[in-house]
Amino acid sequence: MDSDQQTTQPTGGSGQGPAQQPVLAHGALQPPADVRAGSSVRAWLVLLAVTTVLLAGDLVSKWWAFEHVAGFPVTVIRAQVLDGRTIAQRGIQSLIPAHEPVVVVPNVLNWTLVLNPGAVFGIGSGKGWFSVVFTALAMGFAVYMFARWTSVKDRWAHLAVALLVAGGLGNLYDRIVFGCVRDFIHPLPGVKFPGGWSPFGSRGEVWPYVSNVADLYLIIGIGTLMIFLWRKERTLQAAQAAGAADRA
């Protein structure tokens, strides 16, 4: 048994085994070892299958966008992306031929091709090592959470982990193969804050970022895991309150 766990105590009359109660570990509600997702081969296989499907969806969407959005195929060459002199003189977006955005829904959604040298929303731009390390740590933590903090029944949390891993792998693939991340989804194009307010420093646009399906996976996955942890914390607090009431 792990040293960070408290053993469960038998309850009920004679002939009954120990009751499987939640185990408190590091301030979180951790399921008993025999029902953790990490101990279930089926849970691992489902996670792998869902992650593979999601990853394929991201990579296919990027391929489609760079084949069709500009009206002609746009090829991204890693050597050009990593040519510091050219990028310093003209910028990475100079590698994308001029093209008109594809209006999917006016003022709601456009397709437009952009190369992102950073992580999500351009964080860590120009620091490839930062993006790789950040992605690896995020995926590692998500898999650890799946294995240790979720039970076989926490399917929404498992989906969130699959979204995080697929999103991280999708953008990591781009960074390794192309030297940057291929983006094409632009929500709320041209929509601006009233009164000239510009909190993002980009001409007052409500959403100045162009992203991709992998970024969408990451946002949804993080949000879902936050809700999962919040609900776990509430369950922990309720269990602690019930235990205190029993001891009173």
Pick the catalytic residue from 58, 154, 215, 246: 215
Pick the catalytic residue from 58, 154, 174, 183: 183
End-to-end Cα separation, the chain, in angstroms: 30
Q: Is the dihedral of CA 167, 172, 178, 183 positive or negative?
A: positive
Phi then psi for residue 140, to 5 deg, are -65, -40
Q: Which amino acid is at 188?
A: L
Alpha helical stretches, state H, 118-181: 128-149, 155-178
Which of 106, 91, 66, 107 is closest to 207 using CA atoms? Answer: 107
246 is catalytic: no
Contacts of residue 137, Cβ cutoff 8 Å, sequence gap at least 6: none
Specify the DSSP element, H or E, that contains 23.
Answer: strand 23-25
Cα 214–Cα 218–Cα 222 angle in degrees, nearest 5: 170
Q: What is the Cα–Cα distance from 111 to 164, expressed in whole angstroms?
A: 23
HSE value, Cβ hemisphere, 13 Å, CA-based, for 105: 7
215 is catalytic: yes
Q: 105 has which bridge partners?
A: 109
Residues labelled as active-site residues:
183, 215
